[in-house]
């Protein structure tokens, strides 16, 4: 019984463990099955909902993709990205540089060494011809003049005596009271005394000039550009005291590049502006240097400024344009619109609202105005200014306003 009872007890435990295992498996299976059912229900509901959004258009996704593709194939341009080709004339120009200078100018220099006692003009002062600018100490020159005048007076007295003696000896010689030799000697003395008077007169003239030169006057009318002297200063001979210019007559001194030198002519008009200003001015070539600069190969020319209103100033830097070839006519487009300009040039044009790559040929180009005359496009066609890739050909164009 004990054995049986033990067996019975053992079997009961085994059965209990087995029963628990079976129960766990059943519960797990139920949970998995229920989760699968719920997931399937959700998926079915989602699928049904998407399908019923547009039951009349089962191909809605394909239509939307085609519409988006069509929109991305359109290129939009602003009005400033385009230009209308037109028939116009173009004249080749070259850039020139230079500066403005006075057509008439001079320097005032000291005639001799002396001390400055008075200065009547300053920089920027207007002066007229003959106006006193500087006075130098002339005490020494005045003394020399007085001495020269005294010597001249003594020489004149000696001349009068010599002439009187010559006249008396002539009478005595005619009457035979003196020899011919005595008479000729009196004639020689009178002539020599006359030469002495002439010499003393020259000394007086020199002394007077030195006295007059101590008062330095303006040689021309104009404006004092520079003053290099002050009262009390001792100046040396030929030392520059003033620089004097005439601002009413300006000229442009410029340089022209080598490629236009053969076209330069007296009388040509130059359009120019000055630094920090956009106001245009004109000048007319009056002189051309016969020799080009050895280093830069540029040629110097001079042109009279036609605007003498006083707006322009001496020394201002000038930038200008010089037309050096006859004007030609054709289809005018900006250089910025031409792609691959040095190798098979072309432009993008809009024809029937689509882009077309149009080869062109240039027969006139101006780097100053950045424009060119071309063959290959028609008057009035719209040309694209912005660079585009090769794949742009054939794409539809929309122009925004």
> pLDDT, tens digit, for every residue of 251-307?
999 998 887 888 888 998 999 999 888 889 999 999 999 888 888 888 999 999 998
- β 74-78/396-400 pair status: parallel
Enter the CATH code of domain 75-91+328-400.
2.40.420.20
Q: Is 300 within 8 Å of 293 (Cβ atoms)?
A: yes
Phi/psi at 70 (5° precision)? -65, -35
Locate the DSSP E strands across 220-351: 222-227, 234-235, 240-245, 250-256, 269-274, 281-288, 299-305, 317-323, 328-334, 346-351
Q: Is 304 within 8 Å of 64 (Cβ atoms)?
A: no
The CA distance from 60 to 68, in Å, is 13
The CA distance from 353 to 380, in Å, is 14
User: Per residue in 131-159, pLDDT tens?
Assistant: 999 999 877 878 888 999 999 999 999 99
The CA distance from 226 to 215, in Å, is 19
The CA distance from 256 to 62, in Å, is 68
- The third-level CATH classification (topology) of the domain covering 138-213 is Helix Hairpins (1.10.287)
Locate the DSSP E strands across 326-393: 328-334, 346-351, 354-359, 361-366, 371-375, 382-384
pLDDT of residue 213: 87
Q: Is 133 within 8 Å of 127 (Cβ atoms)?
A: yes
CA dist 307 → 106, 249, 254, 269 (Å): 22, 9, 17, 12
CA dist 38 → 27, 34, 43, 85 (Å): 17, 6, 9, 71
Return the closest-CA partner of residue 273 out of 306, 318, 315.
Answer: 318
pLDDT of residue 142: 82
User: Per residue in 31-74, pLDDT tens?
Assistant: 434 444 333 333 333 343 333 344 444 444 444 443 444 455 78
> Any residues with CB less than 8 A from the CB of 94 and at least 6 apart, and which?
256, 257, 259, 260, 321, 322, 324, 368
pLDDT of residue 350: 94
User: Per residue in 76-134, pLDDT tens?
Assistant: 999 999 999 999 999 888 888 999 999 999 999 999 888 999 999 999 999 999 999 99
pLDDT of residue 65: 41
User: Per residue in 321-376, pLDDT tens?
Assistant: 888 778 889 999 999 999 988 889 999 999 999 999 999 999 888 887 889 999 99
pLDDT of residue 72: 58
Quick check: 29 pLDDT over 70? no
Return the closest-CA partner of residue 322 out of 290, 342, 298.
Answer: 298
pLDDT of residue 295: 86
The CA distance from 292 to 301, in Å, is 10
pLDDT of residue 230: 93
Quick check: 25 pLDDT over 50? no
pLDDT of residue 322: 83
Around 192, how many Cα atoms within 13 Å sit in the side-chain half-sphere? Answer: 7
Q: Is 222 within 8 Å of 104 (Cβ atoms)?
A: yes
The CA distance from 394 to 391, in Å, is 8
More confident residue, 13 or 208: 208
How many C-beta atoms surround the C-beta of residue 38 within 10 A? 10
List, in sequence order, every residue forming a beta bridge with 27; answer none if it has no partner: none
- Point out the least confidently predicted range of 118-132, 192-206, 215-229, 321-335: 321-335
Quick check: 318 pLDDT over 90? yes
Report the pLDDT averaged over residues 12-20. Answer: 43
Q: Would 94-103+246-323 and 138-213 be classified into the same CATH topology? A: no
Residue with tokens 């080749």: 92
The CA distance from 349 to 337, in Å, is 10
| Domain spans, the chain | 75-91+328-400, 94-103+246-323, 138-213
The CA distance from 330 to 373, in Å, is 5
- The third-level CATH classification (topology) of the domain covering 94-103+246-323 is Elongation Factor Tu (Ef-tu); domain 3 (2.40.30)
Rounded to the nearest 10 degrees, how much is the dihedral formed by the CA atoms of 241, 243, 246, 252?
170
Q: Is 144 within 8 Å of 212 (Cβ atoms)?
A: no
Reported as a pLDDT band with limits 50, 70 and 90, residue 215 is very high
């Amino acid at each position: 019984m004990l054995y049986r009872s033990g067996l019975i007890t053992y079997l009961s435990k085994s059965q209990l463990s087995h029963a628990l295992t079976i129960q766990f498996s059943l519960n797990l299976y139920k949970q998995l099955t229920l989760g699968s059912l719920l997931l399937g229900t959700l998926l079915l509901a989602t699928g049904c909902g998407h399908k019923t959004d547009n039951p009349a258009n089962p191909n809605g996704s394909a239509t939307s993709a085609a519409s988006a593709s069509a929109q991305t194939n359109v290129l939009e341009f602003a009005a400033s990205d385009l230009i209308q080709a037109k028939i116009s004339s173009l004249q080749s120009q070259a850039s020139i540089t230079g500066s403005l200078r006075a057509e008439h100018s001079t320097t005032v220099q000291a005639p001799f060494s002396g001390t400055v006692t008075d200065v009547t003009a300053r920089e920027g002062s207007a002066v007229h011809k003959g106006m006193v600018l500087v006075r130098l100490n002339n005490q020494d020159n005045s003394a020399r003049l007085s001495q020269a005048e005294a010597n001249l007076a003594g020489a004149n007295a000696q001349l009068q005596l010599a002439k009187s003696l010559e006249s008396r000896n002539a009478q005595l010689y005619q009457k035979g009271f003196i020899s011919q030799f005595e008479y000729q000697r009196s004639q020689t003395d009178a002539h020599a005394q006359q030469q002495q008077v002439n010499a003393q007169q020259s000394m007086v003239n020199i002394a007077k000039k030195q006295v007059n030169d101590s008062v330095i006057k303006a040689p021309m009318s104009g404006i004092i550009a520079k003053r290099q002297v002050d009262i009390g200063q001792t100046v040396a001979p030929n030392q520059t005291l003033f620089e004097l210019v005439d601002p009413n007559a300006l000229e442009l001194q410029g340089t022209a590049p080598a490629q236009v030198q053969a076209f330069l002519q007296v009388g040509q008009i130059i359009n120019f502006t000055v630094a920090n200003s956009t106001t245009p001015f004109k000048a007319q070539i009056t002189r051309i240097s016969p020799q080009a600069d050895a280093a830069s190969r540029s040629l110097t020319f001079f042109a009279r400024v036609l605007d003498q209103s006083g707006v322009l100033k001496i020394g201002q830097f000038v930038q200008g344009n010089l037309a050096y070839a006859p004007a030609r006519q054709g289809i005018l487009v900006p250089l910025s619109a031409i792609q691959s300009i040095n190798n098979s040039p072309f432009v993008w044009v809009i024809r029937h609202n689509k882009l077309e790559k149009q080869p062109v040929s240039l027969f006139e180009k101006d780097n100053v105005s950045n424009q060119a005359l071309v063959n290959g496009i028609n008057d009035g066609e719209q040309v694209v200014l912005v660079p585009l890739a090769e794949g742009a050909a054939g794409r539809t164009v929309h122009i925004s306003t």
